[in-house]
């Protein structure tokens, strides 16, 4: 499904991987990573894309120049394929207006809701990535800690607004970190949730609607939280409730 801002989580990991490979512990790009994740800042996100891929937007390219551009833009895809991810795409920038000519080339044919090669991930994939980050099992513990801090959400504050999503389905005292994004047709969110009873789980909700946004993510969140809160001390306790990742299409 169309990834919207969830693709930013992949780019945050890839950016810290590049910094680690270059032996850089601190960089100015980190302020863009923070703005991308904490504020959903598309300009900052696109600077992160340029940093990770070594490319820039601009006029149309031809022949070998476009092939080289395309190969560089696929660097994040290759990294996550090496980690076992399949049938996904995160080689595109984030746009609120018309993409640049060469970005339009990379996007391919226009479709009814997006483009042939738009960023696409599944709920399971983004939930798996959130799990790895939360367990500090990708790139480095320090990188994962920074990403989690940028994505931290105060649940009571996050409940405010028309598209409160997962936060609105959580009980008092819950904590979470996560990323969400939406368009006129999609609402997508992934979060790692801590409940007052000690239950902990990953929830990813990717939804599509035809007319207007709705509270599907909140409904799923409320169900997941209720089930986790019903666990008793007699249940076998693990740090994580089995990974929850749902995709939904609502009309």
What are the tokens at 4? Answer: 């919207």
Q: How far from 85 is each of 14, 39, 140, 215, CA to CA, in Å? A: 14, 27, 19, 29
- What is the rounded CA–CA span in Å between residue 126 and residue 140? 18
> Would you say residue 164 has pLDDT above 50?
yes
Give 17's DSSP letter.
H
pLDDT of 96 reads 87
243: Cα within 13 Å, side-chain hemisphere: 15
pLDDT of 234 reads 43
pLDDT of 185 reads 81
Mean pLDDT, the chain, whole residue set: 90
Q: What is the mean pLDDT of residues 166-184?
A: 93
Question: Mapping DSSP to helix (H, G, I), strand (E, B) and coil, where does residue 111 land?
Answer: coil
pLDDT of 93 reads 98
Q: Which residues pair with 186 in a beta bridge?
A: 208
Model pLDDT for residues 182-228, shown as the tens digit of each residue: 887 889 999 999 999 999 999 999 998 877 667 899 999 999 999 99
pLDDT of 251 reads 33
Lowest mean pLDDT among 154-158, 197-201, 231-235: 231-235
215: left (phi over 0), alpha (psi -120 to 50) or beta: alpha
Please give the model's pTM, rounded to 2 decimal places. Answer: 0.91
Which is it for the CA torsion 89, 205, 199, 243, positive or negative?
negative
> Would you say residue 243 has pLDDT above 60?
no
pLDDT of 233 reads 53
Model pLDDT for residues 75-134, shown as the tens digit of each residue: 999 999 999 999 999 999 999 889 999 999 999 999 887 899 999 999 999 999 999 999
């Amino acid at each position: 499904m169309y990834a919207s801002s969830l693709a930013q989580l992949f780019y945050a990991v890839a950016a810290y991987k590049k910094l680690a490979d270059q032996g850089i512990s601190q960089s100015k790009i980190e302020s863009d990573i923070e703005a991308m994740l904490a504020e959903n800042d598309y300009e900052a996100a696109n600077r992160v894309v340029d940093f990770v891929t070594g490319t820039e937007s601009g006029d149309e390219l031809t022949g070998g120049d476009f092939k080289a551009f395309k190969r560089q833009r696929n660097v994040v895809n290759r990294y996550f394929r090496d980690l076992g991810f399949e049938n996904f795409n995160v080689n595109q920038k984030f746009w609120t207006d018309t993409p640049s000519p060469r970005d339009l080339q990379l996007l391919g044919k226009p479709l009814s809701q997006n483009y042939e090669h738009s960023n696409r991930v599944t709920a399971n994939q983004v939930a798996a990535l959130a799990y790895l980050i939360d367990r500090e099992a990708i790139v480095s513990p320090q990188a994962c800690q920074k990403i989690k801090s940028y994505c931290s959400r105060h649940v009571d504050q996050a409940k405010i607004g028309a598209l409160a999503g997962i936060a609105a389905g959580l009980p008092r005292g819950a904590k979470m970190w996560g990323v969400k994004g939406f368009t006129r047709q999609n609402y997508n969110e992934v979060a790692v949730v801590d409940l007052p009873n000690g239950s902990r789980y990953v929830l990813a909700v990717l939804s599509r609607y035809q007319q207007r946004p709705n509270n599907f993510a909140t409904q799923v969140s409320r169900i997941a939280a209720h089930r986790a809160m019903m666990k008793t001390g007699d249940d076998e306790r693990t740090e994580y409730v089995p990974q929850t990742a749902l995709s939904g299409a609502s009309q």
